[in-house]
């Protein structure tokens, strides 16, 4: 008979109350209390578990990928992989100075997009899609860290361009899978008050219910299943990845990419995925797409089958029949041993070679795929700045010429440093008129 305790209780031997937590070796008691145990989520039970067992994707007690997939391909120990993660050129894996965000103001989203479709990339995999009069929020993460711990784990490299409470109404929240950089407990809880529906892959609804989302607002789909939500057609589509949350990887949670279609427009969000032939099938069955949001970051030779390279992301976009590609899953968190600016650089090169159309706006800058903005290589100046410059560039300057604007801000900071006798300035110098975006505080969500 299955245990009635949550899986994390069964693994650690602790009760769900954690009233007397043990003193873990090397972890102070105060740090232990900062572990957000609720963030681990909950295992599926009842009818949800029965649905999982009936899924064609659930084989021999676990969800399977559409093609054979290894999470790690080298014959190396987890310790060796971790060592490489911690030591491989970490300075280049982060922006040398402040990312030039577009401070998104509520008024910018007040009017409906003229074309009927507008996308706003908010960093990493979080995208607001305004589609045929509805608002869809993909993989929302406003947390300061993508981690169950308040004191460790990957920390934001830039603030969110807009506080969550200023974002306005949301019709549907779409989650691709349960990894912390795509599913953030505090953000989900904050979104409950919007009245939005929550669309998730099979099994992931257990986490949301555990955090207080009413069961009646959760739409839980297997691959190729479709639901009508708020006048939109949502389809969970295959992806090549995995799920894990907490001290072990559970086999009971599915991962997915998503297709969202309205009366006039349709978009694709990749979530996390390795490249596989299934993109062409998705395109044949559900495409073509006005826009795709494709994962192009957090790739590595250690895990090439579960995260796409930028070149694979562009190739998948073309397989899908996408018109305009928005590269996502880069810029915001340091998750893999590649340089911070490499995903957009390689994406641009691949798009030029293959004839694809890219839109690479600064985080927070809305655009309409029907008239994609000119490609401005704003990340190059950030990557070439002196480490720790901490600059903020005015939106007007960054929009007109981001490279020149950031370079000018760098020169101003160096001049100020020189005036102080080459002593580093205290705090982050800002160019006059530059927007200041507050970092997340409290429970890790800027609201």
pLDDT in tens, 362-377: 999 999 999 999 999 9
Q: What is the pLDDT of residue 255?
A: 99
Confidence (pLDDT) at 417: 44
- Beta-bridged to residue 232, according to DSSP, are 229
Evaluate whether residue 434 is within a structural domain: no
Mean residue pLDDT of the chain comes to 82
Q: Which domain-ending residue is among 355, 380, 405?
A: 380
Scanning 287-400, the segments in alpha helix (DSSP H) are 310-320, 342-354, 378-384, 395-400
Same domain, 149 and 14: no
The answer on 119 and 23 residing in a single domain is no
Pure H helices in 119-237: 185-191, 205-210
Asked if residue 61 is part of any domain, the answer here is no
Q: Are residues 161 and 18 in the same domain?
A: no
Up-side HSE of residue 381: CA atoms within 13 Å toward CB? Answer: 23
The reply to whether 235 and 102 lie within a common domain is yes
28 and 141: one domain?
Answer: no
Q: Taking a C-beta distance cutoff of 8 angstroms, is the pair 168, 292 a contact?
A: no
Q: Which residue has the tokens 């999470």?
A: 71
Last-in-domain residue among 352, 380, 408 = 380
Residue 384 pLDDT: 76
Within 10 A of 114 (CB to CB), how many other CB atoms are there? Answer: 10
Q: CATH number of the domain that 315 lies in? A: 3.60.15.10
Alpha carbons 235 and 257: distance in angstroms, whole number: 9
My answer on whether omega of the bond before 288 falls inside 30° of 0, hence cis, is: yes
How far, in Å, CA of 177 to CA of 59, rounded?
Answer: 19
278 and 150 in one domain? yes
Has residue 340 been placed in a domain?
A: yes
Residue 246 vs residues 21, 24, 443: alpha-carbon distances, Å: 16, 16, 18
Pairing of strands 134-138, 322-328: unpaired
Same domain, 190 and 285: yes
Say how far apart CA 159 and CA 432 lie, in whole Å.
19
pLDDT digits (tens, 9 = 90+) for 26-57: 334 444 444 568 999 999 999 999 999 999 99
Identify whether 258 is part of a domain.
yes
Say if residue 2 is in the same domain as residue 98.
no
Residue 274 lies in a domain: yes
Residues 136 and 228 both lie in one domain:
yes
Please give the average per-residue pLDDT across 181-192, as a whole number: 97
- pLDDT tens column, 218-247: 999 999 999 999 999 999 999 999 999 976
List of E strands, 41-111: 58-59, 62-63
Backbone angles phi, psi at 374, to 5 degrees: -60, 145
Tokens at 298, concatenated: 């957090």
Are residues 135 and 249 both part of a single domain?
Answer: yes
Is the residue at 76 inside a domain?
A: no
Which of 278, 309, 314, 264 is CA-nearest to residue 293?
314
Tell me the per-residue pLDDT of 278-304, one tens digit each, with 9 for 90 and over: 999 999 999 999 999 999 999 998 899
Say whether pLDDT at 168 is over 60.
yes
pLDDT band at 347 (very low <50, low <70, confident <90, very high): very high
Task: Examine the domain organization and report whether 191 and 297 are in the same domain.
Answer: yes
Q: Which domain holds residue 27?
A: 1-33
> Residue 43: inside a domain, yes or no?
no
Distances (CA, A) of 74 to 78, 302, 363: 10, 6, 34
Give residue 86's pLDDT.
63
Together in a domain, 102 and 2 = no
Place of tokens 């559900």: 286
Whether the CB-CB separation of 306 and 71 falls below 8 Å is answered with: yes
For residue 235 the two structure tokens come to 């389809």
User: Which is it for the CA torsion 73, 79, 82, 86, positive or negative?
Assistant: negative
- Tell me how many domains the chain contains: 2
Band of residue 392 on the pLDDT scale cut at 50, 70, 90 = low
Looking at the predicted structure, is the pLDDT value of residue 6 above 90?
no
In a domain, 146, yes or no: yes
């Amino acid at each position: 008979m299955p245990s009635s305790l949550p899986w994390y209780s069964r693994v650690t031997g602790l009760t769900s109350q954690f009233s007397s937590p043990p003193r873990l070796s090397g972890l102070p008691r105060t740090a232990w209390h900062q572990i957000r145990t609720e963030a681990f989520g909950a295992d599926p039970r009842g009818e949800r578990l029965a649905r999982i067992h009936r899924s064609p994707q659930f084989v021999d007690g676990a969800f399977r990928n559409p093609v054979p997939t290894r999470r790690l391909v080298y014959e190396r120990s987890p310790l060796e992989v971790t060592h490489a993660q911690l030591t491989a050129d970490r300075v280049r894996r982060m922006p040398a100075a402040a990312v030039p965000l577009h401070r998104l103001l509520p008024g910018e989203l007040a009017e409906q997009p003229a074309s009927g479709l507008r996308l706003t990339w908010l960093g990493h995999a979080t995208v607001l899609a305004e589609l045929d009069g509805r608002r869809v929020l993909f993989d929302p993460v406003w947390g300061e860290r993508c981690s169950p711990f308040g004191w460790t784990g990957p920390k934001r490299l830039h603030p969110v361009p807009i506080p969550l409470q200023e974002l306005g109404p949301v019709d549907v929240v779409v989650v691709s899978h349960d990894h912390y950089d795509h599913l953030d407990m505090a953000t989900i809880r904050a979104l409950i008050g919007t009245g939005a529906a929550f669309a998730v892959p099979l099994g992931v609804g257990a986490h949301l219910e555990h955090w207080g989302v009413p069961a009646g607002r959760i739409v839980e789909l297997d691959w190729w299943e479709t639901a009508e939500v708020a006048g939109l057609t949502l389809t969970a589509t295959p992806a090549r990845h995995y799920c894990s949350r907490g001290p072990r990887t559970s086999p009971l949670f599915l991962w997915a990419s998503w297709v969202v279609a309205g009366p006039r427009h349709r978009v694709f969000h990749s979530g996390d995925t390795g490249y596989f032939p299934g993109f062409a099938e998705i395109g044949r069955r559900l495409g073509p797409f006005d826009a795709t949001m494709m994962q192009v970051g957090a790739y590595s030779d250690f895990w090439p089958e579960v995260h796409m390279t930028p070149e694979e992301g562009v190739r998948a976009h073309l397989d899908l029949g996408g018109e305009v590609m928005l590269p996502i899953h880069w810029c915001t968190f340091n998750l893999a041993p590649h340089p911070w600016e490499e995903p957009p650089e390689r994406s641009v090169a691949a798009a030029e070679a293959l004839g694809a159309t890219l839109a690479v706006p600064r985080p927070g800058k809305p655009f309409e795929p029907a008239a994609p903005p000119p490609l401005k290589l704003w990340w190059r100046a950030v990557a070439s700045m002196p480490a720790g410059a901490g600059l903020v560039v005015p939106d007007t300057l960054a929009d007109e010429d981001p490279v020149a604007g950031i370079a000018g801000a760098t020169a101003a900071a160096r001049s100020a440093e020189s005036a102080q006798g080459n002593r580093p300035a205290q705090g982050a110098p800002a160019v006059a008129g530059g927007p200041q975006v507050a970092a997340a505080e409290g429970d890790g969500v800027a609201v």
